């Protein structure tokens, strides 16, 4: 999606444009319409429409095709409709020196909160074992213990990770977080960097991955990593499939070390029909729906970011290219 600024009626200068690049046409149309209503000074265009390239000032994108940005010499910023920006940062034609803004949206935060609470509670209450017993008509009471006895570990303490950690804490779970650099977060024990990873894993019974995909997090969850979790731990991945080595997870589950996994994201999406995850009794999969950006609030975030950039203010969600998120 490209936003193009169009001419104000009283002048002959054409408006600048915001270009929208989203592969699904219905979704692209909905975003164009919402943004156009919020950005009267711009023409909001689709990347499939012929648009003078030098008019395009902002690009609003989701999984843009490789090289997309190279076509727009006047681009001021790239606005992602998702929280993850690895597809933008890895584009070989990404212009230097322009801002990249990731999505920060209340609906996205609440959606992830619900997903994390749902699946942590499901493992905490040992619901998969109850479901297996039901399949066999087995009356099998299980005392799951209380949340205060359950140690949950969240990897990635950004907007989504901190929110999930806070809500799990308020249910009484013992919550720790792991991030790149040390930080003090109320009510959450924070482990940092490679130095803090082993201790974080050793105390974590339910692991939730909300990490951005960067060179440092790609395939972080491998065989060695999984071994450092206590026997019987469960893994929830709602960030990026590439943070996890799929075969290592399968082996760790099949050996009995890892009790189960809930995965929303995969190295290949859609997950191929012959993938072993589909039918594995200890794996729950969801089709990358843990949390979705809402059109209304998401478009407001983008309009606010454009207003901030035009006024030389730092927009919410400004990405650090060095950090990769």
Q: Which is nearer to ligand GLV, 103 or 309 (CB)?
A: 103
Q: What b-and-e string marks burial along 276-296, b requiring 16 or more CB atoms within 10 Å of the CB? A: ebeebebbbbeebebbebbbe
Q: Is 83 in the site for ligand GLV (CB under 6 A)?
A: yes
Q: Is 82 in the site for ligand GLV (CB under 6 A)?
A: yes
Are 297 and 317 within 8 A, CB to CB?
Answer: no
Name the DSSP letter for residue 262: E
**Piece of 1-9, 26-34, 82-90, 227-235 that binds ligand GLV (CB under 6 A):** 82-90
**Smallest separation, CB 84 to ligand GLV (Å):** 3
Task: Based on the residue annotation, tell me whether 240 is a catalytic residue of this protein.
Answer: yes
Are 244 and 237 within 8 A, CB to CB?
Answer: yes
According to DSSP H, which parts of the chain are helical?
Answer: 25-38, 86-89, 106-124, 127-135, 159-170, 193-202, 223-227, 246-254, 295-310
Contact code string over 100-129 relative to ligand GLV, x by CB under 6 A:
---x--------------------------
**Piece of 1-9, 81-89, 114-122, 311-319 that binds ligand GLV (CB under 6 A):** 81-89
Closest CA to 209 of 250, 264, 287: 264
Q: Which is nearer to ligand GLV, 130 or 294 (CB)?
A: 294
Query: Token pair of 74, please?
Result: 């006047």
State which of residues 18, 75, 79, 84 lies at the interface with ligand GLV (CB under 6 A): 84
Q: Which is nearer to ligand GLV, 83 or 303 (CB)?
A: 83
Binding to ligand GLV (CB under 6 A): which residues in 149-168? none
> Which residues would be at the binding site for ligand GLV (CB under 6 A)?
82-84, 103
């Amino acid at each position: 999606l490209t936003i193009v600024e169009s001419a104000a009626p009283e002048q002959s200068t054409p408006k600048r444009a915001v270009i929208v690049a989203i592969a699904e046409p219905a979704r692209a149309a909905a975003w164009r319409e919402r943004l156009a209503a919020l950005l009267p000074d711009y023409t909001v265009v689709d990347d499939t429409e012929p648009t003078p390239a030098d008019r395009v000032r902002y690009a609003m994108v989701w999984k843009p095709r490789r090289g997309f940005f190279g076509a727009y010499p006047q681009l001021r910023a790239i606005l992602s409709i998702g929280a993850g920006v690895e597809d933008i940062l890895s584009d070989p034609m990404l212009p230097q020196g322009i801002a990249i803004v990731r999505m920060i949206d209340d609906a996205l935060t609440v959606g992830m909160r619900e997903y994390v609470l749902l699946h942590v509670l499901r493992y905490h209450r040992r619901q998969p074992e109850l479901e297996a017993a039901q399949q066999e008509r087995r009356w099998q009471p299980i005392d799951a213990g209380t949340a205060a006895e359950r140690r949950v570990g969240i990897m990635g303490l950004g907007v989504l990770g901190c929110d999930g950690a806070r809500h799990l804490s308020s249910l009484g779970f013992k919550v720790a977080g792991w991030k790149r650099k040390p930080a003090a977060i109320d009510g959450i024990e924070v482990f940092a960097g490679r130095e803090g990873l082993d201790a974080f894993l050793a105390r974590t019974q339910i692991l939730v991955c909300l990490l951005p995909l960067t060179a440092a997090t790609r395939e972080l969850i491998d065989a060695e990593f999984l071994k450092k979790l206590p026997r019987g731990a469960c893994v929830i991945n709602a960030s990026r499939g590439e943070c996890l080595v799929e075969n290592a997870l399968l082996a760790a589950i099949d050996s009995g070390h890892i009790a189960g996994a809930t995965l929303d994201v995969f190295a290949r999406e859609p997950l191929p029909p012959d993938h072993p995850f589909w039918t594995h009794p200890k794996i729950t999969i969801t089709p990358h729906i843990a949390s979705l950006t809402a059109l209304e609030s998401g478009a407001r975030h983008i309009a606010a970011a454009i207003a901030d950039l035009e006024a030389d203010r730092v927009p919410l969600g400004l990405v650090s290219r060095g950090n990769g998120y």
